[in-house]
Structures are given as C-alpha cells and as structure tokens.
Amino acid sequence: MTGNVEMTLDDIASALRGGSRVILQVRHAERPKMDPTDPTFGDSLPLTAEGVRTARLLGESLAPFADSVQFLASPLRRTRMTAELIAEGMGVASPEIPVEGLLGNESFYYRDTMEVLQVFTPPENFFPMCIEYMKTGKLRGFNDLHESSDALENWLLGRFTARLMVAATHDLYIAAFLSTRGAYNDRSRETWPRFLDAAAIILDPDGSRRYALVRTGLSTGIVGVKA
C-alpha cells in the first residue's frame, strides 16, 4: 500500500456529526529544543508561546463536541499543558485529564528507554531510526511494532466512553501507530506528524473502523525551536 491516509479537522468534525466516535492521539503543541542526552526525553519542557496559542485554537475547533469529550495525557509537561489548553479552548470547565505513562516514556513501543536514547544518539539518528522501525517492525530498545500498536489501540478503546477522546501524546507513537494501520506509508521527515497533528481512530455507526493522519494545519514544525 502506498500513500498516506490524511484528514483535516473539518473531516473529523463531519464524522462526529455523522454519528461516529473518534479517538484523537494528538501530538503536543510546539516546544523548545530538547537536550538530546536528557534521559527523561524533555520531561520538564513547557510549550512555547506559539504552542500555547495553537493548542487553544485546536480546542476551539473541537468546541462543538464539548458535551461528550474525555481527555488523557502523557505525564510529560508539554503533553499535560497541551491537553489542558485544548480543554480550555473547547470551553470545558475543570476537565478531568488522567495522566497515563503509557502515552509517554512508558510507551507500549519502548522496551528499554535508556537503550532507545542510545539509538537516537546523535540526534541526526532520530528520523532514520524511526523509519527503520516502521519499515521492519524491529529496533534495538523497542518492542515489536505491530504488537505494540495492537496493545495501544486495545488500551485506548478500553478507556473510551465518550463521543470524542483527546489523548495528548508524542510524534513517534503517532507515526508508529498509523504505520501499522496502513495510514502512514510514505514515511519521511517531510511527511512526519507536525505539532498538533493527530492519529485518528474513527468508529463508524456501522461498526467499521477507520484510521487517518489528521493534519490540523496549526503548525509546520516537527522539531523543537530555540527557547
């Protein structure tokens, strides 16, 4: 299969209005540059001012569905901030945002985080190694790609009780998940999930399930910027 399956936020809104339920695994908004030797993968990094602005905008675009939405977030500061700002933009007062390690450094995809850090050193290794993982399904420090995606999807579905779920997470997990679902086949730095892009799992009223890379159009960035 070739090509990527991409949708816009308008497409997601149309699916929701048509009776579908949607899980959005959303990449966090723009962050500063990360120290490539940081074993926490930038745990304490906040969002930039632009990241704060665009995360609220994403929430505003989803505001019509605020009556039935739930949130999850990776424990890292930038993902927690993203989820909070999306909820704020949606107009959700005092949102409950469970923090889930499996959306962060305890990912289904990672077997050994320190080994993963070594694989991604120097930083120029990041994209080539990610693409190798998605092509072969195997990489040092990682669990099996397809088994990990199955486990992630089952875990999300087991927590999905609303019409819309917004799970703030990270770019590699979005790309890896969609790669196994036939929605991210043209894998490269140029096609990488940008800040606030998302992996959609769409549960249609007829019982079918669809997957897509959601291009929100809120950022062109794929790596952190200078603080």
pLDDT at 226 over 90: no
What pTM does this model have? 0.96
For residue 86, the SS3 value is: helix
Rounded CA separation 29/216 (Å): 11
Say if residue 97's pLDDT is above 80: yes
Over residues 57-79, the pLDDT tens digits come to 999 999 999 999 999 999 999 99
Domain at 6-214: CATH architecture: 3-Layer(aba) Sandwich (3.40)
For residue 213, the model assigns a pLDDT of 98
pLDDT digits (tens, 9 = 90+) for 16-30: 999 999 999 999 999
In the chain, % of residues over pLDDT 70 = 99
Average pLDDT of every residue of the chain: 96
- The Cβ of residue 49 has, within 10 Å, a number of other Cβ atoms equal to 9
Which is nearest to 224 in space by CA: 47, 58, 11? 47
Query: Hey, where are the domains in the chain?
Result: 6-214
Q: CA–CA separation, 62 vs 9, rounded Å?
A: 8
Q: Would you say 165 and 22 are in contact if contact means Cβ atoms under 8 Å apart?
A: yes
Q: Residue 110: what pLDDT?
A: 97
Q: Is the pLDDT of residue 214 over 90?
A: yes
Name the token pair of 22. 């949607």
Greater confidence (176 vs 42) lies with 176
